[in-house]
Chain A
């Protein structure tokens, strides 16, 4: 239990007038006076407390100091609670205004005076500063660049451009962010970013499915029937591929690892290239070939449209 305040000892309110205090004191002093209560230590103690309380409250200056918390109920100086050491100490963070600068973050410190962490800002530092706006661009790149990656220049005006690094395997519609390449900041604020939306031009013969490349490869009748080694374009340049004899249109061959190479979180992955054969006759008006086929067809009737419910090559439908 905390000690009683002198007001409580005298049984008066803290707002009591000097007169009320005097009356309360006289009443209590009479009641607990040692001479009137011989052999009663409790009464004596009470009398002393009352006297001490009255001593303090009857003196306007002491009472005011007590009210301000400068002295305690016995009249002793109370250590003054200066706010500063508390405010500057560890506990002071509690009263940190919201959104206040955090010096632990140097960018925050620099931005406090409107600089982007580099020199500059200078005189403008007194005023207002803000980061520059983001700028939006679109850039069309060719299929092979999209697949293999590379540098591509984006012209902004005749004498202004951005060199954009295209990562391998970039997707249609992907947006590249070039930090600090947008609009300039005001008053030393940092520049905005350039946001570049990528469009990939279609390729005459390559097609992409994820990291795999698909290509349709025309082969001659002889190559299909007899087999051959033929050059095949890939996104990284031509390679030689073996076509097995007896291949037909629609046969699919795989060139392992000839798709899109990329590094994903440190690991390298690569897709494949799928080559679909398409037999082209080429010399279809060659009399020699026609002559050969006339004899050959007679001996080798085939039904290529059987699955469509049609008859023989020279069927009744004709």
Chain B
């Protein structure tokens, strides 16, 4: 967990106003202790990684703000699906072998026409 100032210092290419805007756009969701907004933001590891990701996409892929909303929206959907898929996989793994076999048989081949 790090604060706003420390995060800005960590990425020299990151401007303060830029980070504030990202938070306002809800691209990054720091904790706001006591419900206060502004400089008391606390960034968790996932938020720091996300800031780095946004910085990278913005600088190196030259993506502007509008396109960034779209990119992040799609990205969040993909990760959401991956998290859901992981839960499903975890649940499948806990099934007895005969259940797993039945599911395997019921799964259509990728690109196929169904079972």
Which residues of A come within 8 Å of B, CB atoms? 2, 5, 7, 14, 66-69, 80-84, 86-89, 91-97, 100-104, 109, 122
Within 8 A of A (CB), among B4-52: 6, 9-13, 29, 44-46, 48-50, 52
Complex Cα spacing A81 to B28, Å? 15
A101 contacts which of B12, B73, B84 (Cβ < 8 Å)?
A: B84
Complex Cα spacing A86 to B45, Å? 8
Taking a contact as CB atoms under 8 Å apart, the answer to whether B12 and A66 are in contact is yes
Taking a contact as CB atoms under 8 Å apart, the answer to whether A104 and B13 are in contact is no
Does residue B100 face the partner (Cβ distance < 8 Å to A)? no
Complex Cα spacing A247 to B56, Å? 99
**Residue of B48, B52, B80, B114 with most partner-chain A CB within 10 A:** B80
Taking a contact as CB atoms under 8 Å apart, the answer to whether B87 and A69 are in contact is no
User: Known contacts A5-B12, A68-B56; is A97 also within 8 Å of B80 by CB?
Assistant: yes
Overall SS of chain B's interface = helix
User: A96 contacts which chain B residues (CB < 8 A)?
Assistant: 76, 80, 83
User: Known contacts A88-B86, A97-B76, A104-B87; is A83 also within 8 Å of B50 by CB?
Assistant: yes
Complex Cα spacing A102 to B80, Å? 9
- B84 CB, min distance to chain A CBs, angstroms: 4
Complex Cα spacing A254 to B13, Å? 91
Taking a contact as CB atoms under 8 Å apart, the answer to whether B80 and A69 are in contact is no
- B22 CB, min distance to chain A CBs, angstroms: 13
A103 contacts which of B44, B46, B88 (Cβ < 8 Å)?
A: B88
B9 contacts which of A5, A95, A122 (Cβ < 8 Å)?
A: A5
- A77 CB, min distance to chain B CBs, angstroms: 14
Chain B residue nearest to A80 (CB atoms) is: B52
Complex Cα spacing A283 to B87, Å? 86
Closest A-B pairs by Cβ, 6 of them: A91-B46, A67-B13, A86-B46, A81-B49, A87-B79, A103-B84
Taking a contact as CB atoms under 8 Å apart, the answer to whether B6 and A91 are in contact is no
User: Known contacts A5-B12, A104-B87; is A82 also within 8 Å of B79 by CB?
Assistant: no
